[in-house]
Amino acid sequence: MTLSHTSHRQPQDEAKIYDLIGVGLGPFNLSIAALAAEKPELSTLFLDKKPHFAWHPGLLLSDAKMQTSFLKDLVTAVNPTSRYTFLNYLVKSRKFYPFMASGQSTISRLEFSDYLSWAANQLPNVQFKADVTAIEQQDGVFTVTVGDQQYRAKHLVMGIGTQAAIPDCAKPFVGDDCFHASELALRDPQLEGKRVAIIGGGQTGADVFQHSFDGEFGSAKSLTWVSRRANIEALDEGCFTDQYFMPDYVNGFYQLEQPLKDKEVARQKLTSDGITNECLQGIYQRLYHDKYVLRKPNWWQIQPSRTLVSMVKRGGEYQLSLVHGLTGERTEISADVVVLCTGFKRTAPSCLNQLQSRIEWDSRGRPKLSPDFSVQWQGEADNRIYMVNAGMGSHGIAEPQLSLASWRAARILNHLAGHTLYDPIEHGNLVDWGLPTEAQHHKQTLGAAI
């Protein structure tokens, strides 16, 4: 079910000064919207350019699974009695008992997306079809432009997500038969009888390989899965790894020197960028069955340690040049369709152009974030710009993930209000990280912004 929420907005809203306007409504700002909606003392408005809520719609493949538990939803970790919990969604959708009997430990992305839409459809403080094109700040107020309308707020939270990262050599060819995986389901590609190259060895590459192997887009003539990584690598799902996705670790991590943070985030890459064991095993078993039981002639290739370095199109087919990461050998593959599972990047949104020069960015172009996710900027101190999913460099590997979304949302709302609206309960941890404690951290950061 997808509803537009434009009906919630009244004409007088343009004159109003909200406490907080959110730009973008992915899961992260949606978490803030859901927690804020249950605090009537806060006036908030969240805007998104999409016609209705959609969670990476191009990658909502039929059998793709979540990497995180359904309990890591919009609100549960800080407000389990909220009406916007995943469990309430199950009850209200009349599927609680069947869900429990299904015994799933991880649910499909389709179902989590349906939960997020269900929450968005009930929230009074969200508005879709609202592309924010400019933001100005003057006299203690932000003015947010959407078409010919303007909304005003004391504070902002930017939740505009990430953009598709496309290798330079592929950029000239982007179109119906060479595209980023984020558009896969939207393009509904016809792979029947085609030679398909899948570039990128993370979870998305695995999902695309698996669905193409299963013939979801027609029976491909051949599949070649290319990864720069040294192997097809698993998500590090260990229980001790999970400790990185807990508040006390994030608080301690924040206090480290930047070069150490960058080194740690790089070292922890597979804790969020690897492929789930369930997915890997499913793929491996398919390959085994295909090759050793069905004894089919070889129609697929798995090629790790190869980097795509150049591409040309000749007579309707692509020639892809790959360089081997260990031997340096250069090889070529031919393909009719190229699916780029080459990740996402963060870019400064154009709607911030007028504020850009007043925001502090580090040498790698990342915004400098305070512990409570507001950017350091040379604007008026009473006007804060919070950012979500922009602080992997400052807050660590959990930042682009759902695990701490509601905890971060609570931190932002508390900071904004200047008092504790939600107790961001910082549960115990089994590990002594030897990093600064939560209490030391908190003393130095709680500020009053409203």
Cβ pair 259, 335 in contact under 8 A: no
Q: Which residues touch 358 (CB under 8 Å, ≥6 apart)?
A: 377, 378, 379
- Of 79, 82, 251, 389, the residue at the interface with ligand FAD (CB under 6 A) is 389
If residue 332 lies in a helix (H) or strand (E), which one and from where to where?
strand 330-335
If residue 145 lies in a helix (H) or strand (E), which one and from where to where?
strand 141-146
- Of 18, 19, 21, 25, the residue at the interface with ligand FAD (CB under 6 A) is 25
- Of 26, 200, 274, 391, the residue at the interface with ligand FAD (CB under 6 A) is 26
What 3-state class would DSSP assign to 292?
helix
User: How many other C-beta atoms lie within 10 A of the C-beta of residue 299?
Assistant: 15
For ligand FAD, the closer CB: 80 or 147? 147
Amino acid letter, residue 375 = V
Q: Which residues touch 150 (CB under 8 Å, ≥6 apart)?
A: 14, 143, 144
Place of tokens 């915004």: 367
- Of 4, 17, 38, 68, the residue at the interface with ligand FAD (CB under 6 A) is 68
- Of 34, 35, 47, 397, the residue at the interface with ligand FAD (CB under 6 A) is 47
The rounded Cα 284 to chain-centroid distance in angstroms is: 27
User: Does residue number 52 form part of the binding site for ligand FAD (CB under 6 A)?
Assistant: no
Q: What is d(CA 132, CA 49) in angstroms, rounded to the nearest whole number?
A: 7
- Of 28, 142, 254, 300, the residue at the interface with ligand FAD (CB under 6 A) is 28
For ligand FAD, the closer CB: 48 or 336? 48
Give the residues across from 225 on adjacent strands: 198, 302
- Of 235, 340, 351, 416, the residue at the interface with ligand FAD (CB under 6 A) is 351
Q: What is d(CA 410, CA 423) in angstroms, rounded to the nearest whole number?
A: 7
Q: What residues from 144 to 163 belong to the interface with ligand FAD (CB under 6 A)?
A: 159-161
Instruction: Kindly state the smallest distance separating residue 385's Cβ from ligand FAD, in Å.
Output: 14
Interface stretch with ligand FAD, choices 252-260, 300-308, 395-403, 442-450 (CB under 6 A)? 395-403
Instruction: Kindly state the smallest distance separating residue 59's Cβ from ligand FAD, in Å.
Output: 4
For ligand FAD, the closer CB: 85 or 389? 389
Cβ pair 32, 19 in contact under 8 A: no
What 3-state class would DSSP assign to 65?
strand
Interface stretch with ligand FAD, choices 135-143, 226-234, 289-297, 400-408 (CB under 6 A)? 400-408
Size of the site for ligand FAD (CB under 6 A): 32
178-180 and 337-340: which strand pairing? parallel
Q: Which residues touch 423 (CB under 8 Å, ≥6 apart)?
A: 78, 410
- Of 5, 18, 27, 226, the residue at the interface with ligand FAD (CB under 6 A) is 27
Cβ pair 406, 248 in contact under 8 A: no
User: Does residue number 400 form part of the binding site for ligand FAD (CB under 6 A)?
Assistant: yes
For ligand FAD, the closer CB: 118 or 299? 118
- Of 36, 90, 120, 132, the residue at the interface with ligand FAD (CB under 6 A) is 132
- Of 50, 83, 152, 269, the residue at the interface with ligand FAD (CB under 6 A) is 50
User: Does residue number 396 form part of the binding site for ligand FAD (CB under 6 A)?
Assistant: no
If residue 252 lies in a helix (H) or strand (E), which one and from where to where?
helix 247-254
The footprint of ligand FAD (CB under 6 A) covers 23-29, 47-50, 55-56, 59, 66-68, 109, 131-132, 159-161, 204, 349, 351, 388-389, 400-403
